[in-house]
């Protein structure tokens, strides 16, 4: 039965974990898709705006080059070349070009220009660069002395993101998405760890209960074997050899704090259960209320109190064992005053944790 319950529990937990992981994956997929569309929309807007600004600059530069060519008496193309080289900023992802018919006048920088001019297919290489994917081309044609020129810029799309600071924005979105995904995974891991801890705690509790039950079974077996709590032993010690056995239970609501390693822990409450196995060595009518009244009177000193504030626990660490030992001595005295004998005492601070003192083997029992 226990194995069946554990198997059912494992199946339920496995299903819960599978559902959780599926939810995390769906969330990650949805977030990725949403981020893609958001960035795509933003990118298209900024690429279009950047292309318009670049085209306006290209038109202005073309007018400048045309004016420069009209006023130049020497090599017009060299003058244009020098002007672009000295006055137009360029970078690896944003550079100017100028060509006329099949001749490269300027492209990117001085070294690239010389390389393309020496190559017979240099113009083809320039045009293939302008047709590259992910590049925005802005160009304007103008005429000087009847010869047509094309002035322009090749700009990578990401350059417009850099100019607007959107690459950082994209990084922030990715970091946020990664953080959410990481938190989700950590929650799954923490859930698994919590389940594992619960299993370990349950196993420890089962072992503790099993050990306790074994101890109690041995005591009960001993009681049976010795004839209702050592009939041949204890009864011989009682006057007349006659006795009757009883069991009383009392409850104490009290708080305590335990010293562990020299440090006092937090004060916390318990409902203590005290079980007394006793014998009466006479056949007289028993007035139970008298005994119960005396024991309740004794217990009232500790009822609804903090044990650390009451003698002897203001000087003695009020552990379960120390409390049980002290109450055993005091209750034995009260029992003896009314002609009762204490055989065994069990004191519990929780339903699953008890301390047992057996007096069966004590010669004064």
Rounded Cα distance between 236 and 232, Å, is 6
Position 215 scores a pLDDT of: 65
The three-point CA angle 311-312-313 to 5° equals: 95
CA proximity to 255, closest of 303, 296, 325, 327: 303
Going by pLDDT thresholds of 50, 70 and 90, the confidence category of residue 327 is: very high
CA proximity to 160, closest of 139, 138, 178: 138
Q: In the CATH scheme, what is the code of domain 226-358?
A: 3.30.479.10
* Number of residues that this document lists for the chain: 365
Q: Are 69 and 145 in contact (CB under 8 A)?
A: yes
Position 225 scores a pLDDT of: 56
CA proximity to 107, closest of 79, 133, 127, 135: 127
Rounded Cα distance between 121 and 149, Å, is 19
Position 230 scores a pLDDT of: 44
Position 71 scores a pLDDT of: 67
For 36-102, strand residue ranges (E) read 94-100
Beta-strand pair 103-107/147-156: unpaired
| Residue 168 confidence (pLDDT) above 60 | no
Position 229 scores a pLDDT of: 44
Residue range 290-312: mean pLDDT, rounded: 92
| Residue 298 confidence (pLDDT) above 60 | yes
| Residue 253 confidence (pLDDT) above 50 | yes
Position 3 scores a pLDDT of: 45
Give the residue ranges of DSSP H helices in 165-285.
166-225, 234-237
Position 40 scores a pLDDT of: 63
Least confident of 137-146, 252-261, 285-294, 340-349: 285-294
Rounded Cα distance between 360 and 230, Å, is 7
Going by pLDDT thresholds of 50, 70 and 90, the confidence category of residue 227 is: very low
Instruction: Provide the CB-side half-sphere exposure for 68 (13 A, CA).
Output: 17
CA 32, 38, 39, 40 dihedral sign is: positive
Specify which residues 140 forms β-bridges with: 151
Going by pLDDT thresholds of 50, 70 and 90, the confidence category of residue 9 is: low
Question: Looking at per-residue confidence, does 29 or 352 come out higher?
Answer: 352
Q: Are 250 and 298 in contact (CB under 8 A)?
A: no
Going by pLDDT thresholds of 50, 70 and 90, the confidence category of residue 32 is: low
| Residue 365 confidence (pLDDT) above 80 | no
Position 222 scores a pLDDT of: 59
* Spatial CB neighbours of 90, under 8 Å, sequence gap ≥ 6: 96, 108, 109
Question: Looking at per-residue confidence, does 336 or 164 come out higher?
Answer: 336
Position 30 scores a pLDDT of: 74
Fold held by 2-166: Beta-Lactamase (3.30.450)
Give the residue ranges of DSSP H helices in 71-165.
76-87, 110-118, 122-130, 157-164
Rounded Cα distance between 216 and 136, Å, is 87
Q: How far is CA 109 from CA 15, 130, 131, in A?
A: 63, 15, 19
Give the tokens for residue 334: 């009260």
Position 286 scores a pLDDT of: 79
Question: Looking at per-residue confidence, does 188 or 67 come out higher?
Answer: 67
Rounded Cα distance between 155 and 130, Å, is 9
Residues of the chain with CATH 3.30.479.10: 226-358
3-state DSSP call for residue 333? helix
pLDDT digit string, tens, across residues 109-152: 999 999 999 988 888 999 888 888 778 999 999 998 889 999 99
Position 249 scores a pLDDT of: 92
The three-point CA angle 359-360-362 to 5° equals: 60
Residue range 294-302: mean pLDDT, rounded: 92
Position 243 scores a pLDDT of: 64
Residue range 211-221: mean pLDDT, rounded: 65
Percent of the chain whose pLDDT exceeds 70: 75
Q: Are 93 and 153 in contact (CB under 8 A)?
A: no
| Residue 351 confidence (pLDDT) above 90 | no
Residue range 206-227: mean pLDDT, rounded: 62
Residues of the chain with CATH 3.30.450: 2-166
| Residue 235 confidence (pLDDT) above 60 | no
| Residue 72 confidence (pLDDT) above 50 | yes
Rounded to the nearest integer, the mean pLDDT of the chain is 80
């Amino acid at each position: 039965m226990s194995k069946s319950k554990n198997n059912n529990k494992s199946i339920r937990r496995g299903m819960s974990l599978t559902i959780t992981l599926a939810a995390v994956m769906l969330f990650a997929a949805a977030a990725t898709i949403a981020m893609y569309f958001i960035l795509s929309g933003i990118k298209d807007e900024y690429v279009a705006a950047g292309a318009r600004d670049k085209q306006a600059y290209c038109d202005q530069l073309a007018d400048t080059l045309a004016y420069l060519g009209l006023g130049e008496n020497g090599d017009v193309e060299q003058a244009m070349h020098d002007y672009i080289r000295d006055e137009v900023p360029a970078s690896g992802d944003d550079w100017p070009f100028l060509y006329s018919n099949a001749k490269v006048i300027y492209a990117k920088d001085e070294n690239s220009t010389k390389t393309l001019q020496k190559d017979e297919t240099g113009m083809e290489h320039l045009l293939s660069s302008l047709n590259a994917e992910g590049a925005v081309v802005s160009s304007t044609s103008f005429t000087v002395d009847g010869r047509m020129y094309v002035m322009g810029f090749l700009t990578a799309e990401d350059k417009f993101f850099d100019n607007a600071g959107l690459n950082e924005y994209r990084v922030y979105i990715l970091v946020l998405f990664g953080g959410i995904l990481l938190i989700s995974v950590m929650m799954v891991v923490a859930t698994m760890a919590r389940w594992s801890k619960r299993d370990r705690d349950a196993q420890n509790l089962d072992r503790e209960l099993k050990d306790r039950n074994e101890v109690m079974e041995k005591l009960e077996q001993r009681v049976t074997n010795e004839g209702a709590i050592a009939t041949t032993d204890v009864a011989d010690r009682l006057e007349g050899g006659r006795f009757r056995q009883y069991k009383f239970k009392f409850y104490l609501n009290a708080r305590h704090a335990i010293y562990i390693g020299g440090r006092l822990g937090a004060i916390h409450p318990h409902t203590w259960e005290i079980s007394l196995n006793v014998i009466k060595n006479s056949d007289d009518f028993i007035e139970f209320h008298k005994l119960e009244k005396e024991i309740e009177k004794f217990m009232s000193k500790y009822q609804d109190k903090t044990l650390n504030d009451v003698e002897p626990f203001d000087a003695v660490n009020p552990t379960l064992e120390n409390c049980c030992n002290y109450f055993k001595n005091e209750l034995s005295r009260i029992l003896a005053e009314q002609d009762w004998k204490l055989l065994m005492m069990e004191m519990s601070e929780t339903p699953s944790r008890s301390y047992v003192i057996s007096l069966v083997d004590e010669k004064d029992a």
